[in-house]
Chain A
Amino acid sequence: MTARLGAADPDRPAPQAPDATTPKDVAANPRLSTWVRVDGDGCVHVQGGKVELGQGILTALTQLAADELDLPVDRVRVHGATTAGGPDEGPTAGSMSVADSGAAVRAACAHLRRLLDTAAADGVPAAEVDLDVDIDVSLPARKPAEGGLTGISVPRVDLPDKVRGRARFIQDLVLPGQLWGQVVRPPSPAARLASLDTAGVEALPGVVAVVHDGSFLGVVCADERRADVAAESLLAAAAWEENATLPDRADLTTYLRDGPVTTFDVDVSGEPDDVAPQVRKLAATYTRPFLAHASMSPSCGLARWSDDGTAVHVWSHSQNVFGLRRAVAAALGVAPDTVQVEHAEGAGAYGHNGADDAAFDAVLLARAVPGRPVHVRWRRADELSWSPFGSAMAVDIGVCLSSEGRMVCWESDVWSQGHTSRPGYAGSPGLLAGAHVEGGAPLPDPVDPPPERGAGSTRNAIPGYRVPVRRIRGHRRQDAALRTSSLRTLGAYGNVFAIESMVDEAADCAGADPLDFRLAHLDDDRARAVLQAVADHVGWAGRPREGDVGWGLGYARYKAKGAYCAVVAEVEAVSDIRVRRLTLAVDVGRVVNPDGVRSQIEGGAVQSTSWTLKEQVTFDRTRITSVDWETYPILRFSETPEVEVLLLDRPELPSVGSGEAAQGPTAGAIANAVAAAVGVRVRDLPITPERVVAAMEA
């Protein structure tokens, strides 16, 4: 298992768009039949390349397709991604689904509509129309002014099944002849199997196979209960050699700074000499810890090898079925076309979680039983300790204020591990079990997406404010003590928290109101509009200035080219830190589905509240110790703030994603509200009562 992928980024086929009007996913997948088919059931079936993660993409694409086709929503079916004939649209990530897939589906459906119109005029049945043609992108897509469904809150197409508890998730898949697998993971990231006696496990009733390859251990059993029992038994039969490879959790900043780092400039502009005499300089360091995806379901995967063991069919809740196919093929040293990957819905995914790993676990276990499907469901502790984490970060920021109270220089250094190690991305398969098998390739050190894809550690490291002199650098640790990869917003959550905290500190230093101070440094009308809208709505000018309640403001434009979002947080700090209310104003360009956008913004804001107040991956020098909901607590119903979303619709502007707009600004707003409530600033996440007390005593 040493096969490596090519040095070039294999995550995408790297298509060249022939011209600016061709959606890039059409350029990569030009055949109309890849995208749509018309069946005898009277429905148009759209084969997308993006996947449902709970964000409602199936509904948004259904809506766009129905719009182009002039069909009611219930006559359009959008199917999940598959490598078997579907388009390769890369990962479902980075808030790009509506922009990328939406444009492609619109183009495909505009072409299909013309073909269907012609067929109807000629009396040709719709199902007989030849779709094996290249998509003609010159056909005009419908404009929003033409009416249709754009801007309508079409209800989620998948929810009726889900409120009934119907089988819809990968966990519910039961294939004929299915067996149940369980993997026994090492007790710590650097542990290696020292000894194992499988005789006792093999003798247990219902055990079909015990798989042992290097430090990869698993069982295949007749049913789920027996798999659980056999896995416990296998665990007891294994002895491990562990190594203390983890950093000192109490001083992650030193860990991030002291290792081998790759340093790179993000923005070096303006001449320091041009800065007028400065009256004040501020400097501070802001940090965030490692965060877990903590999805409600542990990862799951199914696989079935052909009887002769030459091909494998995989079912996964992966965000990238083609990427997973290439990674599995590379890890096994086989041709990619012997691996088929079909998407099945999982619980909410917020980035690169354990989905791909669980799929590969199933591939390895199912190899022991050719012809039989094997269903692998991780346990909670595995999910919380083996899914990749979002990286810890430390952000140093220095600001100079002019005598007029304006920010005239901004210097920052972002310290972080890399924010992506998606399968195949960093040059090796990047599948967990691939690193555990004998002779397997170690997991790749995480890297960052390039700036044109929004960067990683330094995503949103450049403040959106007008500051003439900027020196912004990233420092990415080359090695990674903890496995990290894409978690919703990548570095933007930490960077925006840091920037928005510092902007409030600078405003305070300048004796300015946080809103006025921000507006004075913003030229972009859309940025000003979201800030003004949220401030007007909550009555910012009349906010309470005394007592245990504080209000705070946060703002960012995601990836500097995505959604604009401004937040006001209302926090009460007595014995606990309680976020009572969040109000957000958002501009995502043209709104395809207003309630879908609201839902994504609300969810992003609440998840950010959870990260900001409660969450951190814990570990000693050897083992991850946050392994269940007690050691990795997340926000509960009783702690969830009321959330109100103001949508600033821009029908004339392109749609951008909404799933990652709110997290950074919400963290900034909460931090600023806490500072307003208690009079001291906490610069380290999560903002816990202990940290507030420590800041007060400092």
Chain B
Amino acid sequence: MTDSPAATVSLTVNGSATTVTGDPGTPLLHVLRNELGMSGPRYGCGVGLCGACFVLLDGAAAPACDTPLWSVEGRTVVTVEGLAEGEDLHPLQQAFLDEQAAQCAFCVSGVLVSAAALLAEKPTPSEGEVVEALDRNLCRCGVQRRMVRAVLRAAEQ
């Protein structure tokens, strides 16, 4: 691993056009957290196996930790911060509060992103479809069933 010449990459993050200059191998996660001031996408494993860093990349849930800066030129990124509209929570976020579907909540950003991707594609999913959509996310505190209920509750609204 060596330092490559800096790359300048243009992308859209939570609706805003942004230009980032840096080592092209820098994970999108570091860019979002350290350059663009986000805290929602979280570092969990660094290799895309836990879902804590998931963001919507052109609408699909993808691991920001495993997505290099060079690969996001011209793409659209939505983080958990981009789900709410100002003070108005996304129905999923409200449903997670209504169900108290979190303990430590470290995984919640990524779970919400996976759920948002599902509901965008399938507004009224079955319980099995919710479980399948969240199966790439890990939760260690054991809140999985509450989260599934919360997604189903959000879908009803």
Contacts of A640 in B (CB 8 A): 142, 144-145
- Cα A226 to Cα B106 in complex, Å, equals 25
Per-residue CB contact flags for chain B residues 126-139 toward chain A (1 = under 8 Å, else 0) read 00000110110111
Residues of B in contact (CB 8 Å), total 58
**B142 is contacted by which of A167, A168, A607, A630 (Cβ under 8 Å)?**
A607
**Is A53 within 8 A of B104, CB to CB?**
yes
**B80 is contacted by which of A165, A205, A606 (Cβ under 8 Å)?**
A165
Contacts of B46 in A (CB 8 A): 379-380
Given A637-B131, A638-B131, decide whether A165 and B106 contact each other with a Cβ distance below 8 A.
no
**Is B3 within 8 A of A165, CB to CB?**
no
Contacts of A226 in B (CB 8 A): 3, 23
The reply to whether the CB of A642 lies closer than 8 angstroms to some CB of chain B is yes
- Cα A180 to Cα B137 in complex, Å, equals 27
The reply to whether the CB of B36 lies closer than 8 angstroms to some CB of chain A is no
The reply to whether the CB of B39 lies closer than 8 angstroms to some CB of chain A is yes
**B41 is contacted by which of A165, A204, A643 (Cβ under 8 Å)?**
A165
Contacts of A172 in B (CB 8 A): 33, 39
Min CB distance, B46 to chain A, in Å?
Answer: 6
**Is A637 within 8 A of B23, CB to CB?**
no
Contacts of B108 in A (CB 8 A): 162-163
- Cα A604 to Cα B147 in complex, Å, equals 16
Contacts of A162 in B (CB 8 A): 102, 105, 108
**Is A163 within 8 A of B102, CB to CB?**
yes
**Is B97 within 8 A of A159, CB to CB?**
yes
Which residues, 562 to 615 on A, are CB-close (under 8 Å) to B?
Answer: 595, 599-600, 602-607, 609-610
Min CB distance, A235 to chain B, in Å?
Answer: 10
**Is A643 within 8 A of B140, CB to CB?**
no
The reply to whether the CB of B44 lies closer than 8 angstroms to some CB of chain A is yes
Residues of A in contact (CB 8 Å), total 66
- Cα A347 to Cα B134 in complex, Å, equals 19
- Cα A297 to Cα B107 in complex, Å, equals 9
**A224 is contacted by which of B30, B80, B96 (Cβ under 8 Å)?**
B30
**A155 is contacted by which of B23, B100, B140 (Cβ under 8 Å)?**
B100
The reply to whether the CB of A56 lies closer than 8 angstroms to some CB of chain B is yes
**Is B103 within 8 A of A637, CB to CB?**
no
Residue among A53, A233, A603, A635 facing the most chain B CB atoms (10 A cut-off): A603
Per-residue CB contact flags for chain A residues 141-172 toward chain B (1 = under 8 Å, else 0) read 00000000000010110111011111111011
Which residues, 18 to 42 on B, are CB-close (under 8 Å) to A?
Answer: 22-23, 25-27, 30, 33-34, 38-42
Chain A, Cβ-Cβ closest to B130: A637
**A630 is contacted by which of B49, B131, B132 (Cβ under 8 Å)?**
B49
The reply to whether the CB of B84 lies closer than 8 angstroms to some CB of chain A is yes
Chain B, Cβ-Cβ closest to A206: B3
Chain B, Cβ-Cβ closest to A232: B1
Min CB distance, B106 to chain A, in Å?
Answer: 4
- Cα A83 to Cα B32 in complex, Å, equals 33
**Is B142 within 8 A of A225, CB to CB?**
no
**Is A163 within 8 A of B44, CB to CB?**
no
The reply to whether the CB of B141 lies closer than 8 angstroms to some CB of chain A is yes
Given A169-B106, A229-B1, decide whether A628 and B96 contact each other with a Cβ distance below 8 A.
no
- Cα A380 to Cα B138 in complex, Å, equals 14
The reply to whether the CB of B47 lies closer than 8 angstroms to some CB of chain A is yes
The reply to whether the CB of A97 lies closer than 8 angstroms to some CB of chain B is no
The reply to whether the CB of B152 lies closer than 8 angstroms to some CB of chain A is no
The reply to whether the CB of A629 lies closer than 8 angstroms to some CB of chain B is yes
Contacts of A153 in B (CB 8 A): 100
**Is A223 within 8 A of B144, CB to CB?**
no
**Is B144 within 8 A of A296, CB to CB?**
no
Residue among A163, A226, A602, A607 facing the most chain B CB atoms (10 A cut-off): A163
Which residues, 113 to 157 on B, are CB-close (under 8 Å) to A?
Answer: 131-132, 134-135, 137-148
Contacts of B100 in A (CB 8 A): 153, 155-156, 159, 595, 599
List the interface of chain B (C-beta within 8 A of A): 1-3, 22-23, 25-27, 30, 33-34, 38-47, 49-50, 52, 79-81, 84, 89, 93, 96-97, 100, 102-109, 112, 131-132, 134-135, 137-148
User: Can you name 18 A-B pairs with beta carbons within 8 Å?
Assistant: A54-B102, A54-B103, A155-B100, A156-B100, A158-B105, A159-B102, A225-B26, A225-B27, A229-B1, A232-B1, A296-B44, A298-B43, A347-B107, A348-B103, A348-B141, A599-B103, A602-B142, A638-B132
Given pairs A347-B104, A640-B142, 10 additional interface contacts (CB within 8 A): A54-B102, A163-B97, A172-B33, A206-B3, A223-B30, A347-B107, A348-B103, A349-B104, A603-B143, A635-B142
**What 7 A-B pairs have minimum CB-CB distances, sorted nearest first?**
A165-B40, A54-B104, A606-B142, A348-B104, A347-B106, A603-B142, A162-B105
List the interface of chain A (C-beta within 8 A of B): 53-56, 153, 155-156, 158-160, 162-169, 171-172, 204-206, 223-226, 229, 232-233, 294-298, 346-350, 377, 379-380, 595, 599-600, 602-607, 609-610, 628-630, 634-638, 640-643
